[in-house]
Amino acid sequence: MKKTRSRAGHDGPGAAGDPIESITRELLVRIGEDPAREGLRSTPGRVARSWRELTGGYEVDLKSLLNGAVFKAPDSDMVVVSDITFYSMCEHHLLPFFGRVHVAYIPGRRIIGLSKIPRLVAAFSRRLQVQERLTSQIACAVEETIDPEGVGVVIEARHLCMEMRGARSVCAPTKTSSMRGLFRTDARTRAEFLNLIGPSR
């Protein structure tokens, strides 16, 4: 179901009275900056526009996204779309995490148009997220849309909340997976998928 964000208090991105601009201006003051200085005068507006782009996934209607892109399956061979680049925002610290998504499924009676899988990844990643939930949401969406014999999703990501603060563990990627249907029950199917996206995984 499509989620609609409240846009009360402004007439559009960057408009006067935009609450995100006001909050950003206040944040600059709170950290000891002067939002009126030359380098920061336009920052609140830029931040407001940036946040609306980075969280645009809330506005995506998944049914409309996939409408017309589901077709009868010609066979039951594995379909793999790998190395899908994504960027998301960690809901715990509002800092970016980013990396690659690998999606595979074995058709039952239907397949999804290949271009829709990266768009599906973008729809879920352009929200406040945690990697574990993002992995599961992508797998669930594929499963609910075409009822395949199996779905596999692997995500590898770097989290700036770990690298810039806290543990400061630089270049330590986090890997998550969601294996459903044959990818969970059949070791050969799972191994074929993992081998196709890279043996180190």
Instruction: Let me know if 10 is a catalytic residue.
Output: no
Of 55, 133, 47, the residue nearest 87 (C-alpha): 55
Instruction: Let me know if 140 is a catalytic residue.
Output: no
Of 35, 174, 184, 40, the residue nearest 106 (C-alpha): 184
CB contact at 8 A, 57 and 125: yes
Of 132, 131, 153, 133, the residue nearest 142 (C-alpha): 153
Candidates 59, 143, 161, 163; catalytic one = 161
Instruction: Let me know if 102 is a catalytic residue.
Output: no
Candidates 131, 137, 149, 156; catalytic one = 131
Candidates 93, 143, 163, 192; catalytic one = 93
Candidates 90, 102, 129, 149; catalytic one = 90
Candidates 26, 91, 132, 144; catalytic one = 91
CB contact at 8 A, 152 and 179: yes
Task: Determine the Cα–Cα distance for residues 122 and 136; give it in Å rounded to an integer.
Answer: 14
Q: How many CB atoms within 10 Å of residue 34? A: 11
Q: In this structure, what DSSP letter does residue 16 have?
A: T
- As given in the structure block, the two tokens for residue 99 are 């990396």
Alpha-helical (H) ranges within the chain are 19-30, 43-54, 62-66, 116-125, 131-146, 160-163, 182-185, 187-197
Instruction: Let me know if 171 is a catalytic residue.
Output: no
Candidates 21, 102, 137, 159; catalytic one = 159
The catalytic site residues sit at 90-93, 131, 159, 161
